[in-house]
Chains A and B, each alone.
Chain A
Amino acid sequence: MPDPSTDRIATAPSRGIDEPVCRVEDLTVDFETADGLVRALRGVSLEIGRGEILALVGESGSGKTVLSSCLLGLPPASLKTTVGGSVVVAGVDMVNGSDADRRVARRQTIGAVFQDPLTSLDPMMRIGDQVAERGATRARATAALEDCGVPEPGMRLRQWPHQLSGGLRQRVSIAAAITAGSSTPRRGPGVDTAQASAGDGVPALLIADEPTTALDVRVQAQIIALFARLRDEHGCSIVLVTHDLGVAAQIADRIAVMSAGELCEVGSTEQILRDPQHEYTKSLLAARIDINRMPVSITERSRVVAERRDDDALRLEGISKHYPKAGGRRGEIFTAVDDVSLTVPAGGSVALVGESGCGKSTLLRIAAGLTKADSGGVHVAPGSGRPQLVFQDAGSSLTPWFSIGQGIEERLRVQGVSRREAPDRARELLAQVGLDARAAGARPRALSGGQRQRAAIARALASDPRILLCDEPVSALDASHASRVLDLLDELRASLGIALLMVTHDLAVARRISDETAVMYGGRIIERSASEQLFAEPREDYTRQLIAASPSVY
């Protein structure tokens, strides 16, 4: 596997922008919604050169996805939308051009890869048919699958999307995207056929919207390497939409930073990362939780707390959990958690890292008492109260028809707080997590992602727990919110002595928050040690792979 990080910055300038594949000029997109006009894009101008990877980076709501769908000539149709300006891809205006022209362009010139390959692939269509849908031969489809690193491509042609893993599915959808225009090129009235293809039937422009966000880090690294190869071997231009500067840093030639519908800054990857000009870019970089850069204060504090601890808040002993195997024969079982023992010291923090399906979330649910273990025991230190859980999707963890205040007061009432005192106490808790007292009257849907997670933490605190179990608490949040929520959790640990057990797929988060890190693989804990030691000198090969694959801007 070629290392995606080698030398990309040095080669960037040599990729000439002689004739851009795509030119965006003064693009504006307005949505009419129930709450008034939303200006999704405000005069964006951009060029994408031949054979370059341009990363489009921004937080949620910055307009990056709207821009990428405009490149496809598919502005969101669900709302009343007004589009101004122009997007010209290989001679076709994707905004003002005729439907026929744009269709031909989508067929031959542009490929698209989406975040969730399970929903972007047709579940009722065999892999082979999907890859060859735009007229490729069977041999060409097989070659494309092989090109994208799908093992045994001949056999995959007959399979269905649900039979493949997430990583394989994403490879398949990339294969489908790069077999555009591989048939005899159909001449559209306005299509510049000389520009339509980057060569070998690979489309000139590939739009990838968060293509690795749903994937594990090791798979993410492979997909990124695949994009680099498409650029280097086929001269394909790629627009990589991502919220993660780390992913952009690994592969992009240039980075365009978006915020609130505007392009803040466009520059070479080197320049954006080392010498950002725009305030917003600087704040994005500063907020990023990066595995190679830890705020000193936090590592210091961890050590202080670690020395103070004396007894265990939570002890898991020999936990096992089996499930009937999905799609298996009767009696076949899948071992989700295999004889795991783990202790969380009072006031300490332990991170449990691993890839999807390794059993970490099941273990956390068992610790919370939401799932029964088949064997083993969960021991909570006397007087600790019931461990509380902080969920990945804070929005759906809050009862939607309750106001934030109601949810907290309900907990307080169970704790024996009187009806009269409950509202005051609820406001105190909200203040403790950094929320305004007005949030008490709001419904969860009225809050932003970060505010919801704070509200959920305040509600958990209402039950006065000594142990907080966190299930990917920041993975759904933008970087700026994520780092502040992690700081909040660390503060609570320091000030209230609440022990944290945090499940995460993101090693940077683990390193930032935990005294100790345990690595889980295949239902077992394969390595566990003090975080600083684990990240500095990983013992297991698997741990080393995880650390190496974690995106970093440094």
Chain B
Amino acid sequence: MSRLASPSGAVDAVLTPPGRGIRGFASSFRRRRVGIPERVALVAIVIITVALPFAPLLAPYGSTAVAGAPFTPPGIDHLLGTDSQGRDVFSRVLVGLGASWFGAIAVIAFGVVLGSIIGLIAGFAGGIVDTVLMRLTDAALALPATLVALVVVAALGPSLQNTLIAVAVTWWPWYARIVRGQTRAIMTMPHVDAARLGGFSRTRIALVHVLPGSIGTVLIAASLDVGAVLLVLATLSFIGLGSPSPAAEIGSMTADGLTYLLTAPWVALAPATALFVLALLANFAGDGLRELAE
């Protein structure tokens, strides 16, 4: 699922126009160059990112505390009802989403940084360095996230942190490939020749005259991947590789709730739907960012 979910590979070697900075983005946003769903999603994602760190404070009950009778249907006291232990589903979803959201962002950030470094070195150096680094990248790409997660969890025990490590290990190669392709393309541009004639060091040319040209593309690709990473993390948690109970995690909550799907459907459907909406918003927001960049 993770492989197919990431469209990043396709944008290899496509040059983004040079960025126009924050003001350019803002003016594009105001001029309605972006579709309505994308605009709504962008605003929603900003609010979510700002609000979710405070999820434990916003939640009406503790995420692991017993808040009422088991299987209380959704109502005034419990917006999304309670689960088999009598814990408030709304509070647990809020906290779980927060963990997933920032987990996904951490995985992507790690991937972008590591991938950019490796892609830049490979693309800039060329030759044998390029070959070795890119074959390593291909090897990492061939690792299935689920299996790596199993190995990591078997070695370190189940926890959110360990699933993050497992996904991060398999996710960076996408960005390495994008940055490498961009770097190769930018290297053929006259301004790089001009920089060489300026007598600057290779490091300076790579960091100052080449890398900034690929940052836009890789960030756009990354923003489109956030939704996919959310789903992968939830999948791993669903099959029991995340934090063990009673921690609030979207995947494990859905898995637990499945047992009572017919009698208390809200226990499974609430976290699953919340995740679906968040992933959808993330994808729309990614599209919106891409449109803004164009």
Contacts and interface: CB of A to CB of B under 8 A. Distances in A.
B152 to A, nearest CB: 39
Interface stretch (A213-221, A339-347, A398-406, A513-521): A398-406
Interface stretch (B41-49, B53-61, B102-110, B191-199): B191-199
Contacts of B31: 34
B193 A397 contact: yes
Main secondary structure of the interface of B (DSSP, over half): helix
B290 interface: no
A391 B194 contact: yes
Interface in A353-390: 368-370, 386-389
Given A400-B18, A400-B213, A414 B191 contact: no
Q: Which 7 A-B pairs have the closest CB atoms?
A: A400-B18, A397-B190, A399-B191, A391-B190, A401-B212, A397-B194, A396-B190
Interface in B141-188: none
A443 interface: yes
A42 interface: no
A410 B213 CA distance: 18
Nearest to B194: A397
Nearest to B200: A414
Interface string B264-277: 00000000000000
Interface of A: 34, 368-370, 386-389, 391, 393, 396-401, 410-411, 414, 443, 445, 456, 459-460, 463
Nearest to A393: B190
Contacts of B3: none
A260 B13 CA distance: 37
Nearest to B33: A34
Contacts of A391: 190, 193-194
Contacts of A398: 191, 194
B199 A401 contact: no
Contacts of A34: 27-28, 31, 33
Contact of A459 (B28, B190, B194): B194
B209 A399 contact: yes
Contacts, number: 58
B197 A414 contact: no
Nearest to A400: B18
Given A386-B199, A410-B200, A396 B18 contact: no
Nearest to A445: B18
Contacts of A463: 197-199
Q: What band does the interface of chain B fall in when counting residues whose beta carbon is under 8 Å from A?
A: 20 to 34
Contact of B197 (A368, A410, A445): A368
Contacts of A410: 198, 200, 208
Contacts of A393: 190
A459 B199 CA distance: 13
B189 A396 contact: yes
30 contacts: A368-B193, A368-B197, A369-B197, A370-B193, A370-B196, A370-B197, A386-B199, A387-B197, A389-B193, A389-B194, A391-B193, A393-B190, A396-B189, A396-B190, A396-B191, A397-B190, A397-B191, A397-B194, A398-B191, A398-B194, A399-B191, A399-B208, A399-B209, A400-B18, A400-B191, A401-B212, A443-B18, A456-B194, A460-B197, A463-B197
Contacts of A388: 197
A468 to B, nearest CB: 11
Nearest to A369: B197
Nearest to B196: A370
A411 B190 contact: no
B37 interface: no
A180 to B, nearest CB: 36
A317 to B, nearest CB: 21
A113 B33 CA distance: 34
A459 B191 CA distance: 11
A369 B195 CA distance: 12
B244 to A, nearest CB: 48
A401 B213 contact: yes
B19 interface: yes
